[in-house]
Structure 1
């Protein structure tokens, strides 16, 4: 039988203290309401397909926030009730929007490796190196904002059906 190391760790950060214990079941952090689900990730991570799948499975409308007028579009979506919303990664550069997403619904981050995304997006193999380079810069720039905003995380490197199933499982927990 495997014996786990039982230690208590305290991590202090300005106004937060986190205690991690391996000898008792961790409690799940409080999350905002279940009505709105936002899906974030880089271009090519599978956001559109996952949003469509989740909307169908959860019997909710699917929406995509536009780059222009995102705040007004978000107001309209929130007024309508439960929904699954695709959020372009470029919008996460707006701190007010990140905060609002985090407070008004659950945020699901589709984390995909640069290599997997480049393979999906490249029309020809010779395009992949340039795509990997561009995507690497984007991921480096946006990753901190993804991490600040997320409530749920799904690895999106695998086949689309697997990513969709994992996303649905995470959302239903």
Structure 2
């Protein structure tokens, strides 16, 4: 029986996000470490500017953006730097990443506290420069200010609409 994934809330999908993720994947496959150009192009197509943040929208019957992201993360994890997850849902487990071939020892999870909100956690992760990629969960607008540093080359992704059955 084929599994279907229900979403508890509506996640918006734009035509610009999928090509941006694909372009990032193509650049990574070609050996490029410059993610900023593709992100700015996609953001300008949406009329928003979020530095090198890329929105990864997951919604019912379309997991292609998530699949691209997982392939990218597997390749990035080979640099032996952290894959940092910012504020994943409380029921989230690492099986999605380990099934994609990412070692759980390379995954670092930062959860929000009373003194550090998810945006502050993303800023800290980027400033430490120890991550191969930073992945946040929620709406991209919530993380727009966290990635202000133009010199930062760490790829940042914001997953929106992760179905509860994938946690």
Q: Is the radius of gyration larger for structure 1 or structure 2?
A: 1
The higher relative CO (CA closer than 8 Å, separation ≥ 6) is in 2
* TM-score over 0.5 (shorter chain): no
More strand by share: 1
TM-score when normalising by structure 1: 0.29
